Structure 1
Amino acid sequence: MDLVFDHDTLGQRVLFGSGKAAENLAAEVARRRARAVMLIASEAEMQIAASVSSDIEIALTYHDVAPHVPLEKAEKARAAAAEAGIDLLVCVGGGSTTGLAKAIAMTSRLPIIAVPTTYAGSEATNVWGLTEASRKTTGVDDAVLPRTVIYDVELTYSLPAELSVASGLNALAHCIDSMWAPRADPINQALAAEGIRALSHGLPLIKVDPRNRRGREQALYGAYLSAVAFASAGSGLHHKICHVLGGAYNMPHAETHAVVLTYVLALNAPAAPEAATRIAAAFGSETAVEGLSSLREKLDAPRALKDYGLAETDLPEAGRLILPVVPPLNPTPVTQENLQQLLHAAWAGTEPGNI
């Protein structure tokens, strides 16, 4: 069969180096000749953000950050940036912090320098998300893609092992979803496969020793690859499910992804044998589902959505909200019946083979 595809590569500068975040940030701010920098970080990350930005002048420090980027908080941050005459956004933190910077950039077109402290991956995509009235809306806009990403393994040491596991499995979800997302192609599948290999190698090392630098490097490298693959391939079934659950029921982002991934993989793998074989090879396992299950066992990963606040009575409504946004070319046709089976299994934490 002829190899035919089209692929977009997003333009972004990546600086990767342990202990180099402050140095790299100062150099980037100087290179951009920024005069009024807005530093965005949650209160929990403010000490790290202060250290990273110690060599630059900050015009506005902003910490009103919340998961899933509520629209009212986005509008408040946009107004603050405009009032301060900001010409560069610097975000230090996880996906919520990056998401708020993207919300500002979406309307102001201001450039972003992202300094991640988790494995969320949002920093490498042009995808934005906003939540209003318990409904999360996502979209694509190249203006929200951070111009520069500064990776520093030492900044992830603040992330406890259990949150590193959840965040890393969120990154793994980007990889697996990219194998059959709407714009999947050989390039983003190759990036995703390498991301799976790196994450499946690095996360167990972090679980054993949270300060294992080699493990942190592999996880951070894998998280970047996962996000690049996801940005190119688009949002598949897994992400559609998790976006609805997060926005409608205020579910924790990383833990929700960590749970749901198992069940989406079990649903889709039989109908996508080539992708499943590639996923299995990246795990070094006989099958894709076995590879993920083995990794989850090593990591003692999050197991059930009921453990994070989702009620069983929410499942019928969740299914009705998810079904209209399911990608039409998902490998396994999604019906209300098998979607409810998937959601109930994920809620209860039952074995994925039961779907």
Structure 2
Amino acid sequence: MIQTFTYEALPIRVRFGRGTIAEAGDELSRLGTSRALVLTTPQQLEQGEMVGVLLGQAFVGLFAGAVMHTPVATTEQALIALREAKADCVVAIGGGSTTGLAKALARRTGVAQLVIPTTYAGSEMTPILGETEGARKTTIRSLDVLPETVIYDVDLTLGLPPALSATSGINAIAHAVEALYAEDRNPVISLMAEDGIRMLSAALPVLVSEPSDMEARTKALYGAWLCGCCLGAVGMSLHHKLCHTLGGSFNLPHAETHTVVLPHAVAYNATAAPEAMAAITRAMGTSDAGHGLFDLIKTLDAPQALSQLGMPQDGIKTVAELALENSYWNPRPITRDDILSLLQRAWRGERPQ
């Protein structure tokens, strides 16, 4: 039965297809901008230079210093580059690291953003920014950081290695999973969430064995877009709180951390969110949501233990304490002992309980 709900569509333009990166210049013109600073990670410098060529005279600089978790120090370096180039917009090409940097710059300067994702992170569809300073990661939600335009080009995901396709895809699935039991969930987002899980859970095993399969690449990117919409539209819960805490405190790799934690967070919430669990099992064709996700991750040969990611065992208590501070809403009450148990199983890579 459909209950009373609220749905707000975010003001963002999306272009999806193959070869759509060629339209970057036209999209900047639509925004009324003419001086673009291109953002990348050091590893994606060549892609950034390629975008610069496509932009022609609108290309005024390249900052290739984006890194995980959007450190404030990196943003300050990029601010200098933005001002020296006298840029009136940024073009971010890459995954969550470059998207996060673009958002951080927009928050401080109001600069327009064109984001071109090359992974399945989903951050480009959200008004959410997570920034790290010291060993603390803080998150804000504001339309000030929402990109104006996103170009999805399936061709750009062909270079994603199988391992990164797997973890990036599971990261995207996590957004949809938590949207299904979010406090402010609604029927529209729930439909998108279930379809996003269905698309990605079907595409990822294909991409691990056949990385150049275009049908699977298209399904995966489309699914990632749906999951990103979910992340941008409703609140997240325990899973995202744990991952942000782990990543900010121990500098763990973002997508891999989401991959390890997700089955355990889902199992934790299973009895408190039966409708969400039913949607997940329908989408994946499995009998149990948490175990189905765990088995999918194993099939993808992706990390299943926090210890594999460099998480120290003696940090588990610290994460449990931090997770209880300003904790997100969650369908099942969060207690210190329960979170300790969850984290210990995730650290060892055991089957979720």
TM-score, structure 1 as length reference? 0.96
Tell me the CA shift for residue 19 of structure 1: 2.2
> Counterpart of 2:302?
301
Q: Any idea what the Cα deviations from partners look like across 1:293-340, whole Å, max 9, x if unmatched?
A: 332232122110000110110001111111123224x12211000000
> Counterpart of 2:26?
27
Answer yes or no: is 1:348 the counterpart of 2:314. no
Name the SS for the 1:352 alignment partner. coil
Q: How many residues are aligned here?
A: 351
> Counterpart of 1:38?
37
Contact 1:105 1:144 in 2 (8 A): yes
Q: Any idea what the Cα deviations from partners look like across 1:163-205, whole Å, max 9, x if unmatched?
A: 1100000001111111122322222111111100110111111
Q: Match of 2:242, as an amino acid?
A: I
> Counterpart of 1:18?
18
Which residues of 2 match residues 185-264 of structure 1 at below 5 A? 185-264=186-265
Name the SS for the 1:139 alignment partner. strand
Name the SS for the 1:68 alignment partner. coil
Provide the rounded CA distance (Å) in 2 between the counterparts of 1:2 and 1:235: 21
Name the SS for the 1:76 alignment partner. helix
Q: Match of 1:35, as an amino acid?
A: S
Q: Match of 2:3, as an amino acid?
A: L
Answer yes or no: is 1:333 the counterpart of 2:333. yes
Tell me the CA shift for residue 2 of structure 1: 5.8
Q: Match of 1:266, as an amino acid?
A: A
Which residues of 2 match residues 122-201 of structure 1 at below 5 A? 122-201=123-202
Name the SS for the 2:53 alignment partner. coil
Q: Match of 2:35, as an amino acid?
A: A
> Counterpart of 2:74?
73
Contact 1:240 1:325 in 2 (8 A): no
Q: 1:161 to 1:70 in 2, by over 3 A?
A: same
Q: Any idea what the Cα deviations from partners look like across 1:256-308, whole Å, max 9, x if unmatched?
A: 00000010011101211111111111112222224323322321221100001
Contact 2:48 2:62 in 1 (8 A): no
Q: Any idea what the Cα deviations from partners look like across 1:127-166, whole Å, max 9, x if unmatched?
A: 0111011100010111211111111111112210011100
Q: CA RMSD in A?
A: 1.3
Q: Match of 2:332, as an amino acid?
A: T
Identity, % of aligned pairs?
40
Contact 1:172 1:223 in 2 (8 A): yes
Q: Match of 1:337, as an amino acid?
A: D
Provide the rounded CA distance (Å) in 2 between the counterparts of 1:198 and 1:325: 33
Name the SS for the 1:318 alignment partner. helix
Tell me the CA shift for residue 122 of structure 1: 0.7
* Structure 2 unaligned regions, length at least 5: none
* Structure 1 unaligned regions, length at least 5: none
Answer yes or no: is 1:61 the counterpart of 2:82. no
Name the SS for the 1:66 alignment partner. coil
Q: Any idea what the Cα deviations from partners look like across 1:27-60, whole Å, max 9, x if unmatched?
A: 1123234221110011211212222342213111
Q: Match of 1:112, as an amino acid?
A: Q
Provide the rounded CA distance (Å) in 2 between the counterparts of 1:84 and 1:293: 47
Contact 1:127 1:145 in 2 (8 A): yes
Tell me the CA shift for residue 124 of structure 1: 0.6
> Counterpart of 2:109?
108
Q: Match of 2:322, as an amino acid?
A: L
> Counterpart of 1:50?
49
Q: Match of 2:210, as an amino acid?
A: D
